[in-house]
């Protein structure tokens, strides 16, 4: 399928999902440079997820989709006139969170074994490297401590379990 057919399919799917079928505002030629086949296929893949589907986000846990949040963002080429293009990188989940919007985005749900493997204990060298690069936070350390103690991080569906302190606070 060529890019022209992919753009038409995306506009039809957006309209069917209840979103405006607008793919860009501004310079058509600049917008079409942004909408390469890979981008269009990625958008069509994201539109295939419906509310109620269980997916995995880059945090390594499964989430249930509440809704897709497409938005018009800007993209320009070499400082030319700004062209606003459709962005589809945010999902709202039923647990109140949102997807991070990273390029890989959401993927079909992972098994509990895959999630457990993803959240394996890190070596001290890996932790130091993550700290140097600014990717290690206090939450990362708390999760690492839970993994090293052998605590479960997710339920049988792969959804993130609340921290033990949160469970105790809810019972009071």
Same domain, 63 and 147: no
pLDDT for 93: 93
Residues 13 and 96 in one domain: yes
Q: What is the pLDDT of residue 83?
A: 78
Phi–psi pair at 157, nearest 5 degrees? -95, -5
pLDDT tens digits along 100-153: 777 677 889 999 999 988 988 899 999 999 999 998 999 889 889 989 998 888
Domain presence at residue 171: no
- Give a yes or no: residue 172 inside a domain: no
Task: For residue 58, tell me if it sits in a domain.
Answer: yes
Gap between the Cα atoms of 169 and 167, Å rounded: 5
Same domain, 86 and 119: no
Looking at the structure, do residues 117 and 96 belong to the same domain, yes or no? no
- Residues 17 and 97 occupy one common structural domain: yes
Q: How many structural domains is the chain composed of?
A: 2
Is 40 within the bounds of a domain? yes
pLDDT over 50 at 169, yes or no? no
How far apart CA 99 and CA 112 sit, in angstroms, is 20
Lowest mean pLDDT among 93-97, 140-144, 166-170: 166-170
The pLDDT, as a whole number, for residue 172 is 44
Indicate whether 90 and 33 sit together in one domain: yes
Same domain, 120 and 152: yes
**What is the extent of the structural domain holding 57?**
3-108
Q: Rounded to whole angstroms, how far apart are CA atoms 5 and 14? A: 14
Question: Are the beta carbons of 6 and 44 closer than 8 angstroms?
Answer: yes
Residues 91, 106: contact at Cβ < 8 Å? yes
For residues 92 and 117, state if they share a domain: no
The reply to whether 81 and 15 lie within a common domain is yes
**Could you read off the pLDDT of 22-60 as tens digits, one per residue?**
888 888 887 888 888 988 998 898 888 889 999 999 888
Tell whether 140 is covered by a domain.
yes
Rounded average pLDDT over 19-23: 85
């Amino acid at each position: 399928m060529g890019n022209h057919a992919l753009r038409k399919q995306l506009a039809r799917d957006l309209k069917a999902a209840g979103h405006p079928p607008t793919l860009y505002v501004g310079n058509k030629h600049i917008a079409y440079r942004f909408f390469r086949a890979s981008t269009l296929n990625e958008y069509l893949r994201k539109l295939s997820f419906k509310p109620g589907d269980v997916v995995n986000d880059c945090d390594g846990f499964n989430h249930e989709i509440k809704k897709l949040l497409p938005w018009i963002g800007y993209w320009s080429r070499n400082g030319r006139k700004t062209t606003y293009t459709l962005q589809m990188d945010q999902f709202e989940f039923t647990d109140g969170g949102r997807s991070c919007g990273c390029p890989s985005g959401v993927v079909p749900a992972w098994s509990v074994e895959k999630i457990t493997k993803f959240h394996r204990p890190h070596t001290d060298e890996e932790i130091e490297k993550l700290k140097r690069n600014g990717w290690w936070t206090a939450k990362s350390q708390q999760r690492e401590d839970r993994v090293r103690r052998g605590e479960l991080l997710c339920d049988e569906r792969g959804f993130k379990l609340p921290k033990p302190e949160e469970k105790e606070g809810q019972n009071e």
